[in-house]
Chain A
Amino acid sequence: GAVVSQHPSRVICKSGTSVKIECRSLDFQATTMFWYRQFPKQSLMLMATSNEGSKATYEQGVEKDKFLINHASLTLSTLTVTSAHPEDSSFYICSAGSGAAETQYFGPGTRLLVL
């Protein structure tokens, strides 16, 4: 089956620092990756859609200069939370798919805590 990994699984950082989260598709080429954020007891909120080799498409209300997304290859996308603040503390999950309207495969998630 398709496997997606995320690194790190959890991270604690100080307010004002930047944090990079990696999302990798291990055994397939992901033309599209999605980044979600999930606050406790809430649904997954789509932050952005990332296509290999092109700029990410951000959802309304998501600051593209704060959440930098890079999808440089068919197996790797990164999300960088710049100048993190306590309100950015959340569970960040990526998913990868190989085409439109296909099954998406989720990474295990990254729990970010900003102090």
Chain B
Amino acid sequence: GENVEQHPSTLSVQEGDSAVIKCTYSDSASNYFPWYKQELGKRPQLIIDIRSNVGEKKDQRIAVTLNKTAKHFSLHITETQPEDSAVYFCAPFSGTYKYIFGTGTRLKVLA
């Protein structure tokens, strides 16, 4: 079956520093690559996404880069703030028409 892994599983950064989370997937037919932020007890929120015909996308402090050949995509957060603290999930849309969530990364931004 499809395999989706995230690294690191936990990440602590100082406020103002950058954070990078990598998502590696196995299904070469995946064509849509979203990142979600989930706060405790809440639903996942889409923060950025990218499609397979684009290599990079940026939205203010958040960016996503995609390497389809190597089958990984990464979330980049610059100028981190305490409110960025949450669990982040990637969820590539597979060739079997479903989203497979990654293992999750707990980000802690230290003030």
Residues of A within 8 A of B (CB): 32, 34, 36, 42-46, 49, 60, 91, 93, 95, 100-104, 106-109, 111
Contacts and interface: CB of A to CB of B under 8 A. Distances in A.
B1 A46 contact: no
Would you call the interface of chain B mostly helix, strand, loop, or mixed?
Answer: loop
Contacts, number: 48
Nearest to A6: B43
Contacts of B91: 44
Contacts of A100: 93, 97
A101 B33 CA distance: 9
Nearest to B2: A46
Nearest to B49: A103
Nearest to B103: A43
B73 interface: no
A46 B91 CA distance: 11
A93 B36 CA distance: 14
B25 interface: no
A103 B32 CA distance: 9
A106 B97 contact: no
B82 interface: no
A60 B98 CA distance: 13
Nearest to A49: B98
Contacts of A44: 44, 89, 91, 101
A106 B43 contact: yes
Contacts of B43: 93, 106-109
A49 B96 CA distance: 11
A101 B1 contact: no
A34 B43 CA distance: 14
B110 interface: no
Contacts of B97: 32, 49, 100-101
B100 A46 contact: yes
Contacts of B41: 91, 109, 111
Contact of A103 (B46, B102, B104): B46
Given A93-B43, A103-B34, A106-B43, A60 B1 contact: yes
Interface string B6-44: 000000000000000000000000011010000001111
